[in-house]
């Protein structure tokens, strides 16, 4: 069974600290790895997508890495702000690319 | 605003009711998806439509019936639901291949919060 795990389930940091969010998956035959943000009661906002041929993607303060051999992806958020408080979800795209398997998410609280 | 809209945003229905959820995408994509998000469970893929054909039915009970009349619209018809079907139902779209966007990057709507009483 394809599984995606995110640990920890919740994280609290003071403003300004860098955030490191982890995602692990059991099947290395992935097509892509996508990171999303979800605010309470809302839909998902796509943050970064890493194709299987790539090692990382960057957008502003966000950087996501992908290591297929170890089955891991990491999302780094530099200089966290209270507005970064949300749940962050990673999702693995399978061989067909369009079927995403989601992790349980990491709920982040950035304290002012 | 992601370019994917869902209506209604909130729905309360009894177990004997019939209702429909609607999703519309304005991104020119050719694939659409239904997901279910229950409390304390990961997002679950329910259905995938590619070029208006259903290509995935992820062991979803028949009380959920999807319909994709064209590449911009997706419906989820609901009937005789159970209280455990209460959840946030999310719609997403993507471009299957080619186009300007990253292939298979999925864009989500805001969801419909469904409560079954």
pLDDT single digits (tens) B12-38: 998 888 999 999 999 999 999 999 999
Q: How far apart are the C-alpha atoms of B54 and B7, rounded to whole Å?
A: 21
- A60-75: per-residue pLDDT in tens? 999 999 999 999 999 9
pLDDT tens per residue across span B52-85:
777 777 789 999 999 999 999 999 999 999 999 9
Partner A contacted by B51 (CB < 8 A): no
Average pLDDT, chain A: 92
pLDDT(B98) > 60: no
Looking at the complex, does the CB of residue B60 fall below 8 Å from at least one CB of chain A? no
CB contact under 8 A, B45 and A99: yes
Please list every residue in chain B whose beta carbon sits closer than 8 Å to the beta carbon of residue A4.
Answer: 42
Contacts of B93 in chain A (CB under 8 A): none
Spatial distance between the Cα atoms of A18 and A81, rounded to a whole number of angstroms: 9
Testing the interface with A: which of B7, B42, B71 to mutate, by most A Cβ within 10 A? B42
The answer to whether A32 touches A99, Cβ cutoff 8 Å, is no
Chain B 10-29, residues with CB within 8 Å of chain A CB atoms: none
Q: Give the closest residue to B105 by CA, choosing from B25, B37, B41, B42.
A: B25
Residue A45: which pLDDT band, with cuts at 50, 70 and 90?
very high
What residues of chain A, 73 to 102, have a C-beta less than 8 Å from chain B?
89, 91, 93, 97-102
What are the beta bridge partners of residue B91? Answer: B34
The predicted-structure confidence for A92-112, as pLDDT tens digits, reads as follows 987 666 788 999 999 999 999
What percent of chain B stands above pLDDT 90? Answer: 69
């Amino acid at each position: 069974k394809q599984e995606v795990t995110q640990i920890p389930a919740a994280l609290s940091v003071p403003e300004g600290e860098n955030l490191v969010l982890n995602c692990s998956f059991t099947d290395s035959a992935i097509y892509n790895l996508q990171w999303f943000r979800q605010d309470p009661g809302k839909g998902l906002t796509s943050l970064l997508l890493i194709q299987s041929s790539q090692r990382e993607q960057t957008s502003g303060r966000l950087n996501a890495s992908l290591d297929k051999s170890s089955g891991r992806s990491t999302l780094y958020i530099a200089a966290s702000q209270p507005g970064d408080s949300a749940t962050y979800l990673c999702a693995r795209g399978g061989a067909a690319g369009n079927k995403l398997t989601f992790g349980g998410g990491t709920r982040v609280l950035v304290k002012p | 605003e992601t370019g994917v809209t869902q209506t209604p945003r909130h729905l309360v229905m009894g177990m004997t009711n019939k209702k429909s959820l609607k999703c519309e995408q304005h991104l020119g994509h050719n694939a659409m998806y239904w997901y279910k998000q229950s409390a304390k469970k990961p997002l679950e893929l329910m259905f995938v439509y590619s070029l208006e054909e259903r290509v995935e039915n992820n062991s979803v009970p028949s009380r959920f019936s999807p319909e994709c009349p064209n590449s911009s619209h997706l419906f989820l018809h609901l009937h005789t639901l159970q209280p455990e079907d209460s959840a946030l139902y999310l719609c997403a779209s993507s471009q299957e291949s080619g186009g300007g966007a990253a292939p298979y990057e999925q864009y989500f709507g805001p969801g419909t919060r469904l409560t079954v009483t």
